[in-house]
Amino acid sequence: MALEFTTSYIEDTLSLFRYYKRLAERAMDQVTDEQLFAAIDQEANSIAVIVKHMAGNMRSRWTDFLTTDGEKPYRDRDSEFAGPPASRKDLMAMWEDGWSRLFAAIEPLTDADLSRTVTIRGEAHSVMQAINRQLAHYPHHVGQIVLLAKHFACDRWQSLSVPRNKSAEFNRKVAAGELSQR
């Protein structure tokens, strides 16, 4: 992620969310459709289940973000951990829907909105707290997606950051302007 200097919490937050969205997508691009739906054991979630959970959370949290509780009455969190869509296309449509709701909710905000009050499960949060809550939650799951994708891709894995044993080469290329920092 290239650093862009900002003093705006909203701009920085949007940049971070976009970074983590893209990180997960770059990882998912490296696995087969079968691997997307595979779990490593009976207690583990597949990448598809994690995506379904994240999308369900996003639909609930970011729909009518400023005016309704972030835990919508229609949300069935437990069902997010079973029965993901059967195809990559449908799964990615669910993923995009969740992220589009997040960006639609945050993009119009200004830093002046950060002290407004929203609720999640009936508990008051400032807008900043609610955003931070999700900025901690989603990268946690993105890390799970990356770990699983790296496991499944194994020797086909293409590093999402600085490749192992390539730090000096990477730093030289950045200094020479051949690469941007990620």
In sequence order, what DSSP letters do the residues of 92-115 get, joined into one string? HHHHHHHHHHHHHHHTT--GGGGG
User: Would you say the pTM of this structure is higher than 0.75?
Assistant: yes
Give 74's DSSP letter: T
Tokens of 150: 């790296």
165 burial via Cβ count (<10 Å: 0-12, 13-18, 19+)? exposed
Residue 101 has a pLDDT of 98
CATH entry, 9-175, from 1.10.3720.10, 3.40.950.10, 3.40.50.2300, 1.20.120.450: 1.20.120.450
Task: Report in angstroms the alpha-carbon separations of 163 from 1, 127, 140, 176.
Answer: 15, 37, 21, 18
Q: What is the CB neighbour count within 10 angstroms for residue 6?
A: 12
The pLDDT averaged over each successive group of 10 residues in the chain (182 residues) is: 72 96 98 98 97 98 98 97 96 98 98 96 98 98 98 94 77 75 50
Q: What are the residues whose beta carbons fall under 8 Å from the beta carbon of 104, sequence distance 6 or more?
A: 62
Residue 3 has a pLDDT of 58
Task: Report in angstroms the alpha-carbon separations of 6 from 12, 143, 179.
Answer: 7, 25, 21
**What letters, b where the CB count within 10 A reaches 16 and e where it falls short, cover 77-102?**
eeebeeebbeebeebbebbeebbebb
Evaluate whether 55 touches 95 at the Cβ level (below 8 Å).
yes
Residue 181 has a pLDDT of 53
Residue 167 has a pLDDT of 79
Give 127's DSSP letter: H
Domain ranges in the chain are 9-175
**Amino acid sitting at position 153:** A
Q: What are the residues whose beta carbons fall under 8 Å from the beta carbon of 74, sequence distance 6 or more?
A: none
Tokens of 142: 């993105």
